[in-house]
Amino acid sequence: MIELIRTDSQNRDFKNLVKCLDEYLSVTDGSDHSFYSQYNKIDKIKYVIVAVEDSQAVGCGAIKEFDTDTMEVKRMFTNSESRGKGLATTVLTELEKWAAELSYKKCVLETGIRQLQAIALYKKNGYRIIPNYGQYIGVADSVCFEKVLK
């Protein structure tokens, strides 16, 4: 059974999972990794979900305020042994629920065009592609998404 823990970016399991995520992205992003990593600092993230199975942290995700109506989804990751079981959808759904509880109206996010599994995840969960926002404007290797919360 999966337990979802609401925490913040100081959580040790979250930090360890983000380290694994960064190692994974350094391979898939290649030379673009250093560009993206500047936007993925976790020190000020207040809203983090860590997924735990059999006392082991297996996945995570976070949200941070983008503007007064919008949360940005950050640092989504599932370890390789736990992929394909719906865990990322479970974490994403909990993040959206938390954002709605905090009175935010929508979520946005950015992912790399090489992250085909992530793109499929977001489309499957009702996110629609939008023009690149903020620091991603004009970045050809980025794809941005938005979902209005219910």
User: Rounded to a whole number, what is the distance in angstroms from the first to the last CA of the chain?
Assistant: 27
pLDDT in tens, 107-136: 999 999 989 999 999 999 999 999 999 999
Q: Residue 33 pLDDT > 50, yes or no?
A: no
Annotated domain spans of the chain: 2-148
Q: How far apart are CA 62 and CA 72, in angstroms?
A: 8
Q: How many CB atoms lie within 10 A of CB 26?
A: 15
The fold adopted by the segment(s) 2-148 is Aminopeptidase (3.40.630)
Query: Does 1 or 146 have the greater pLDDT score?
Result: 146
